[in-house]
Structure 1
């Protein structure tokens, strides 16, 4: 291996990614012959947008040495293809992934989330990756694709087993998922049933297109994997960051509109897909570094989202108030931008909102340490253990439990009364009255909001 600050095959480099990628951002490096690593935001963005010099055909094939000359049958799916075929298949699939259409799915996502959250016990410990992170993305993508509900449990079991085996390849499990898709495609074709879903489109494509069952099943497999795994990662990561610092969770409980900002900042700080791959089409230069045809180019999306030149000195921090965060590259850029990005955002946001409403006092379980599935391309938490409704006795002594007012500061603006009418009110003389100084668990979010909105900082929690 040539001298390189970041080797995508090195577990030690992934374990210390913050420093290794910071070093890699200084220059394009070549850890192996036929491979270049691009880590700075500007060059990653450049390569993602240049479909003439960089091919998408061997995306996800991280191997030492240049890409093979022969064509892989899987390169006919959207995430591993180039124009003009990519243009045609993306236009075809886009009808089910238009942002306006996906927004109309939000009520259905809310139903799925409500059902899943209802299965979490009112007290004790829960694994949010198990209860929500794996369940909601799967059920959402099954709905879009058109998988019959009687196959959902089997699909979920296969998906869970796939993730449990990572980073090892599991061709047998992939084959079983493909078998389900082929069977469903045949059943739909033979029944003549018409539905507004992707399977119907693949069976009756129109527009001069045609798909045999195996090719159609490959497209479904790609949508299934992309729609489930990356969103599972997003959900686990954003909930972890919010709960890692209790004040963040308290802010979201007090103001659920922050959920959308939390999702975007999580995508930037903990990109679900850590890197993507391109293959050079012709000899060219990358930030002054020469690359030759068929060289593999590893594009570190995570490093681009940590680049100080793009995000400032706080790039490694999780900041709910970050300006311009939606410019991150977690979903790629250019013609290969993730089709399912809008629905992934909806799923994560709705889950945050639902948990904030039901479990406002939720905290990470004592002693919990985040661990990720050892698959370098994914930032996928194995679990996320929380105490959904910790008792007051279990709370740290420093946890705010009482609402107090500094009467020398209070000017009677009344904003706190609007935020927490069950805790405080202004009397006829405009003086603040605290109705409940001991804050009940279900009003902790309102109390935090009352403290936050006071323009003279007259309220505090202790």
Structure 2
């Protein structure tokens, strides 16, 4: 019996629903996968993906991070953001924002994060509620937008715009009018907020960026312009809103499928951080990044030419059995030293807010353990997202047992 042709389609409904069987075949049969129709390559093995994340001289971020961007004329100047930069420019820009995400700064946010999580959990029905729609979609955007300086009354609107900007119908590669409309509204909102902070600075990230000095490639030290700060805010606001939302939803689904491990957390709360790491490994909210090959790359007897889009499939790498024992098994007790968890990326573009996301997710999981020590997922009403590069659920309704 002949096996079906191996096809990796990151824009298909099958991909949004369950990419892992395809990843498994790609790692075994085509570790350097090439799609002739769309002219892109993909790396799936942990060793290759981790190395590519760290090799910006071969795999560049400067043309964007999704297929449509990389295969177009690149990133327009008005959309320039840190995520679309390579070192040394990226290093200088990131150093500015790193000052906001120091361990001390993250720790200082803990009480505020806890209060927000308790507030939103306190508003749900104690017998049946949607873990994503009623809870995990709501608080992360409040956290990151408060850091940026967004007034409270506008924070949930930011979330709706971010969701709309990332939504993709199956088969959709290019952004459509609705996506662009949402992106434009987000950028316009932050641009106006920047004008307000120029006139009246406050104790927030946007005011801090306005006051920061940056060393330029061409020499000299200047301040960031409004477009650059808009790029920072758009990037952090979007990533901060989506990642934790999906991570918490994915966690509740996986623990429903592995109730023995939920019981372990009930018995020993010290395992919560390890549980977050395992959810991140097993079903990361961000499944891939796309890079642009600046020069030829040779792997496994194949050649990736210069000038090509290359998918770095972190979601596949984190399920590579060459890197992780029983890689397709969800196990909160696994040995974390076996391999690098690529759930938050790796190298210079590793997630800037990873520590904050881990803290938010851990607090949320602890509060859910208190709130619903016994629960069941209502599988028939669960809905997955169909989003650019995002894996997870838009709806995970649960019934809480007494």
TM over 0.5: yes
Q: Report whether the alignment pairs 1:228 with 2:230.
A: no
Taking structure 1 as reference, are residues 11 and 74 closer, same or farther at Cα in structure 2, changes over 3 Å only?
Answer: farther
Aligned match of 1:281: 294
Matched length? 382
Q: Report whether the alignment pairs 1:323 with 2:327.
A: no
Q: Report whether the alignment pairs 1:265 with 2:287.
A: no
Structure 1, residues 406-460: CA drift from partner, whole Å, max 9, x if none?
A: xxxxxxxxxxxxxxxxxxxxxxxxxxxxxxxxxxxxxxxxxxxxxxxxxxxxxxx
Secondary structure of the 1:236 match is: helix
Q: Report whether the alignment pairs 1:89 with 2:93.
A: yes
Taking structure 1 as reference, are residues 120 and 202 closer, same or farther at Cα in structure 2, changes over 3 Å only?
Answer: same
Tell me, in whole angstroms, the C-alpha distance in 2 between the residues paired with 1:77 and 1:159: 16
Q: Report whether the alignment pairs 1:378 with 2:390.
A: yes
Preserved CA contact (<8 Å) 2:250 2:393: yes
Taking structure 1 as reference, are residues 210 and 233 closer, same or farther at Cα in structure 2, changes over 3 Å only?
Answer: same
**Offset of 1:354 from its aligned partner?**
0.8
Alpha-carbon RMSD across the aligned residues, in angstroms, is 2.3
Aligned match of 2:129: 126
Tell me, in whole angstroms, the C-alpha distance in 2 between the residues paired with 1:61 and 1:10: 15
Q: Normalising by structure 2, what TM-score?
A: 0.88
1:76 to 56, 77, 80: 80
Secondary structure of the 2:386 match is: coil
Aligned match of 1:35: 40
Secondary structure of the 1:154 match is: helix
What does residue range 7-26 of structure 1 map to in structure 2 within 5 Å? 7-12=9-14, 15=17, 17-26=19-28
**Offset of 1:20 from its aligned partner?**
1.4
Q: Report whether the alignment pairs 1:151 with 2:154.
A: yes
Structure 1, residues 227-270: CA drift from partner, whole Å, max 9, x if none?
A: 11122111111121112333322221222222111110000000
Taking structure 1 as reference, are residues 159 and 283 closer, same or farther at Cα in structure 2, changes over 3 Å only?
Answer: closer
Structure 1, residues 361-403: CA drift from partner, whole Å, max 9, x if none?
A: 23323x4464311225111202111112x24xxxxxxxxxxxx
Preserved CA contact (<8 Å) 1:75 1:81: no
Higher relative contact order (CA 8 A, sep 6+): 2
Preserved CA contact (<8 Å) 2:66 2:289: no
**Offset of 1:311 from its aligned partner?**
0.9
Aligned match of 1:456: none
What does residue range 238-387 of structure 1 map to in structure 2 within 5 Å? 238-312=251-325, 314-324=326-336, 327-365=340-378, 367-368=379-380, 370-375=382-387, 377-387=389-399
Taking structure 1 as reference, are residues 265 and 74 closer, same or farther at Cα in structure 2, changes over 3 Å only?
Answer: farther
Secondary structure of the 1:377 match is: coil
Preserved CA contact (<8 Å) 2:32 2:300: yes
What does residue range 402-417 of structure 1 map to in structure 2 within 5 Å? none
**Offset of 1:163 from its aligned partner?**
5.8
Taking structure 1 as reference, are residues 187 and 84 closer, same or farther at Cα in structure 2, changes over 3 Å only?
Answer: same
**Offset of 1:221 from its aligned partner?**
0.5
What does residue range 371-450 of structure 1 map to in structure 2 within 5 Å? 371-375=383-387, 377-388=389-400, 390-391=401-402
Larger Rg, first or second structure (1 or 2): 1
Tell me, in whole angstroms, the C-alpha distance in 2 between the residues paired with 1:189 and 1:74: 20
Q: Report whether the alignment pairs 1:101 with 2:105.
A: yes
Preserved CA contact (<8 Å) 1:49 1:334: yes
Tell me, in whole angstroms, the C-alpha distance in 1 between the residues paired with 2:357 and 2:184: 26
Secondary structure of the 2:329 match is: coil
Preserved CA contact (<8 Å) 2:244 2:357: yes
**Offset of 1:282 from its aligned partner?**
1.4
Taking structure 1 as reference, are residues 4 and 289 closer, same or farther at Cα in structure 2, changes over 3 Å only?
Answer: farther
**Offset of 1:202 from its aligned partner?**
2.4
Tell me, in whole angstroms, the C-alpha distance in 1 between the residues paired with 2:7 and 2:16: 11
Preserved CA contact (<8 Å) 2:142 2:156: no
Q: Report whether the alignment pairs 1:61 with 2:66.
A: yes
Aligned match of 1:205: 212
Tell me, in whole angstroms, the C-alpha distance in 2 between the residues paired with 1:128 and 1:345: 18
Aligned match of 1:189: 198
**Offset of 1:320 from its aligned partner?**
1.4
| Structure 2: unaligned runs, 5 residues or longer | 215-220
Bigger mean CA offset, 271-280 vs 281-290: 281-290
Secondary structure of the 1:382 match is: strand
2:56 to 46, 51, 56: 51
Tell me, in whole angstroms, the C-alpha distance in 2 between the residues paired with 1:9 and 1:150: 34
Preserved CA contact (<8 Å) 1:77 1:222: yes
